[in-house]
Structure 1
Amino acid sequence: MVVFEIKMENARQDLKEGLVLYNTENNAGLRDAWNTIQREWECCGVTKADDWSKSSPNSPGRKTEKELVSLINLKVFCFQGCYDKAEQWVDANKHLLGTIAMCVLVIQLLGMAFSMTLYQQIHRAGKKYEA
């Protein structure tokens, strides 16, 4: 269980490091991904909106006091981090994810079985023609 918690913390740290790259050149994909995730899941930063203030002065989570007041009035300001939202989504969809994983496993096993059968057929056919 300790190893799992360490990996979870490593994932959080990697995401926070990704925030630092938000406004750097040649990172349009990262920027679009963060914007889409935050808009769709209505979350801010990795663990909270403060993550943005620590990363970059021009990041979307960094707001002036006037902007914060207008956001609160519009009830758009979010208090939950995207990592927590992702954990909730995985927890809510764990049965679906498990089913997909099992289907992939079965397909992989069938592929291995068919390839071994094909190998055996080729091997047997090769011996018949050597005599």
Structure 2
Amino acid sequence: MAEGCMMALRYGMVFFNLLFWLGGCGILGVGVWLSVTQGNFATLSSSLPSLSAANLLIAVGTIIMVIGCLGCVGAVKESRPLLLTFFILLLLIFFLEILSIMLFFIYQDEIDHYAQRDLKKGLQLFGTEGNVGLTNAWMIVQTDFRCCGVTNHTDWFEVYNATRVPDSCCLEYSDNCGLDNPGTWWTAPCYERVKDWLNENLVALWIFALCTALTQILGLVFSMTMFCQAVKVETFYA
């Protein structure tokens, strides 16, 4: 009976971690693809220049692959140290995610204030040498979201020290259109536009978060059950 339970748990763990590992491979692949094909698209933040979409995906994908590999090998070999390591790492990530969500809602106003201040600081680097990624990022965001500046199109006036905005702020793009009449520019703030987009997709984000949490809980249950079963079997045959 115990051997049958261990076999079922082993197959369940291997299947779960194989999906986990393949998911990590997919995320890593997308991150590498973004890094290669969109290498100049970096971050909007001046204080966190390495916090780009590509780097985040590569880091997350690598972590998921390592954890999935640990769980898979631990299940196949019925290794208690590997199963316990997998459980601890997954539990730590789960608690960090919950803590991050709680802190986000508690300090939402402070985060908004800091993010806007940091983004405005980043505007000063727009178009400067060595900041091609940040420049391209702002151009893409303003074009795609049809917005201009962080909180107002006048944010750019301080950057240029003139009544001027980047050409990506124009209703109809053309060279040096940012020097034309303000009536030809987008006036919506980019920060609010991005927040509105996130709110519009809030249901999808929550579904993704719940699916992720459920997957992690199943991984925790499988690994700890298999670990306890392995201890019982070893004790029985000792």
| Shorter-normalised TM range | 0.7 to 0.9
**Separation in 2, partners of 1:65, 1:21:** 20
Is 1:93 paired with 2:198? no
Distance 1:50 1:2, change over 3 A: farther
Instruction: State TM-score, norm by structure 1.
Output: 0.77
Alignment check: 8 A CA contact 1:47 1:83 kept:
yes
Alignment check: 8 A CA contact 1:23 1:59 kept:
no
| Cα deviation digits, residues 67-112 of structure 1 (max 9, x gap) | 323x74xx5x101110010121122111111111111111111111
**Separation in 2, partners of 1:17, 1:113:** 46
Distance 1:60 1:128, change over 3 A: same
Q: How does 1:1-131 map to 2 (within 5 A)?
A: 3-56=107-160, 60=166, 67-69=179-181, 72=183, 75=184, 77-129=185-237, 131=238
RMSD: 3.0
**Separation in 1, partners of 2:129, 2:217:** 44
Alignment check: 8 A CA contact 2:153 2:165 kept:
no
After superposing the two structures, state which structure 1 stretch, 92-101 or 56-65, moved more.
56-65
State the shift of 1:118 in Å. Answer: 2.5
Moved over 4 A (4+): 56-59, 61-66
AA at the equivalent of 2:205: L
State the shift of 1:56 in Å. Answer: 4.7
Secondary structure of 1:44's match? coil
**Separation in 2, partners of 1:27, 1:66:** 20
AA at the equivalent of 1:122: A
Matched residue pairs, number?
126
Q: Which structure 2 segments of 5+ residues have no match? A: 1-104, 171-175
| Cα deviation digits, residues 32-86 of structure 1 (max 9, x gap) | 21111111111111011111221356972699898323x74xx5x1011100101
State the shift of 1:9 in Å. Answer: 1.0
Identical-pair percentage? 32
**Separation in 2, partners of 1:97, 1:65:** 37
Q: Which structure 1 segments of 5+ residues have no match? A: none
AA at the equivalent of 1:127: T
**Separation in 2, partners of 1:66, 1:31:** 15
After superposing the two structures, state which structure 1 stretch, 115-124 or 79-88, moved more.
115-124
State the shift of 1:128 in Å. Answer: 3.5
Alignment check: 8 A CA contact 1:23 1:56 kept:
no
